[in-house]
Amino acid sequence: MNWLEMTLCFPLLGAILNGLILRSESKTLAQIVSVTACFLAFFSALFLSYDVLTHHEGLKVYHLASWIEAGSLSVPFSFLIDPLSSLMLLIITGIGSLIHIYAGGYMSHEKTTYRFFAYLNLFVFMMLLLVTGENFLIMFIGWEGVGLCSYLLISYWFEEDKNAKAGMKAFLVNRIGDIGFLFAVFLTFKQFGTLSFLDLKNILLNSHTLTQEMQNSIALICLLMLVAACGKSAQLPLYVWLPDAMAGPTPVSALIHAATMVTAGVYMMTRLSFFYFLAPQIMTVVAVLGCLTAFFAATIALVQNDIKKVLAYSTVSQLGYMVMGCGVGGFGAGVFHLLTHACFKALLFLGAGSVIFAMHHKQDMMEMGGLKKYLPKTHAVFLLGVLAIIGVPGFSGFFSKDEILWKAFNYPVIGPYLWAFGTLTAGCTAFYMLRLYTLTFCGENRSDHHTKKHIEETPVIMWGPLAVLAFLSVFIGFVGVPAVIGDLVGIPNFFEHYLEPVIKMPHAAEENWHFLRDHHSHALEWTLMGTSTSFVLLGALLGFNFYKRGPKGISLILKKKFSRTHKFLTNKYYVDEFYENIFVTPLQEMSQFLWKIFDLIFINGFINGVGRGLMISSALSSWKNSGGLQTYAVFFVLGCLVFLGFFLK
Q: Which residues would be at the binding site for other proteins (CB under 8 A)?
A: 618, 622, 624-631, 633-634, 637-638, 641-642, 644-645, 648-649
SS3 306: strand
Minimum CB distance to other proteins smaller for 190 or for 646: 646
Nearest-approach distance from CB 645 to other proteins, in angstroms:
6
Of the pair 561, 624, the CB lying nearest other proteins is at 624
Contact present, 137 and 182 (Cβ < 8 Å): no
Taking alpha carbons only, the member of 348, 370, 346, 345 closest to residue 359 is 370
Closest CA to 151 of 107, 119, 127, 115: 119
Distances from the Cα of 352 to the Cαs of 170, 365, 379, 464, 610, in angstroms?
Answer: 22, 10, 10, 15, 60
Cα distance between residue 144 and residue 126, in whole Å: 8
What is the C-alpha separation between 473 and 342, in angstroms, rounded?
A: 9
**Residue 7 Cβ vs other proteins, minimum distance, rounded to whole Å:** 28
Smallest gap, in angstroms, from Cβ of residue 608 to other proteins?
A: 21
Q: Helix, strand, coil: what percent of the chain each, to 5? A: 80, 5, 20
Nearest by Cα to 98 from 40, 48, 156, 38 = 38
Buried b (16+ CB within 10 A) or exposed e, 462-501: bbbbbbbbbebbbebbbbbbbebbbeeeeeebebbebbee
We find the least distance from the C-beta atom of residue 613 to other proteins, in angstroms, to be 17
What is the nearest approach in angstroms of other proteins to the Cβ of residue 636? 9
| Closest-CA residue to 508 (of 152, 305, 212, 197) | 212
**In angstroms, rounded to a whole number, what is the distance separating the alpha carbons of residues 571 and 90?**
38
- Cβ proximity to other proteins: between 208 and 649 the closer is 649
Nearest to 371 by CA among 359, 353, 361, 360: 359
**CB closer to other proteins out of 172 and 634:** 634
For other proteins, the closer of residues 514 and 649 by Cβ is 649
- Nearer residue to other proteins within complex by CB, 172 or 640: 640
Whether the Cβ atoms of residue 306 and residue 247 lie closer than 8 Å to each other: no
Q: Which of 312, 172, 145, 296 is nearest to 231 (CA)?
A: 172
CB of 68 to other proteins, least distance (A): 25
Residue environment code for 303-339, b if the CB has 16+ CB neighbours within 10 A, otherwise e: bbebbbbbbbbbbbbbbbbbbbbbbbbbbbbbbbbbb
Please state the closest distance from residue 21 (CB atom) to other proteins, in A. 15
**In the bound complex, what is the minimum distance in angstroms from residue 65's beta carbon to other proteins?**
17
Question: Do the Cβ atoms of 343 and 356 come closer than 8 Å?
Answer: no
Q: Which is nearer to other proteins, 590 or 634 (CB)?
A: 634
Q: Measured from the CB of residue 633, what is the shortest distance to other proteins in angstroms?
A: 5
Nearer of residues 494 and 636 to other proteins, judged by Cβ = 636
Distance separating alpha carbons of residues 266 and 294, to the nearest angstrom: 14
CB of 616 to other proteins, least distance (A): 14
**Residue 410 in 3-state DSSP?**
coil
User: CB-wise, 489 or 642, nearer to other proteins?
Assistant: 642
Using CA atoms in the order 295, 297, 303, 305, what is the torsion angle rounded to 10 degrees?
-150
Give the DSSP letter string of 105-155: HHTTTSS--HHHHHHHHHHHHHHHHHHHBSBHHHHHHHHHHHHHHHHHHHT
Q: How far is the CB of 176 from other proteins (least distance, A)?
A: 46
Nearer residue to other proteins within complex by CB, 541 or 640: 640
Closest approach of Cβ 631 to other proteins, in Å? 8
- Name residues whose C-beta falls within 8 Å of residue 534's C-beta, 6 or more positions apart in sequence: none
Q: Which is nearer to other proteins, 70 or 648 (CB)?
A: 648
Q: How far is the CB of 611 from other proteins (least distance, A)?
A: 16
Q: Residue 157 Cβ, how far from other proteins at the closest point, in Å?
A: 34
When the beta carbons of 538 and 640 are compared against other proteins, the nearer one is 640
Pick the closer one to other proteins by CB: 20 or 634.
Answer: 634
* Beta carbon of residue 619, minimum distance to other proteins (angstroms, whole number): 9
* Shorter beta-carbon distance to other proteins: residue 65 or 619: 619
Rounded CA separation 335/580 (Å): 34
Rg (CA), the chain: 27
The Cα 18–Cα 120 span in angstroms is 10
383 C-beta neighbours (distance < 10 Å), count: 15
CB of 283 to other proteins, least distance (A): 53
If the CB atoms of residues 587 and 634 are measured against other proteins, the closer one turns out to be 634
DSSP summary character for residue 364? B
Q: How far apart are CA 118 and CA 15, in angstroms?
A: 4
Q: How far apart are the first and last CA of the chain?
A: 52
When the beta carbons of 492 and 611 are compared against other proteins, the nearer one is 611
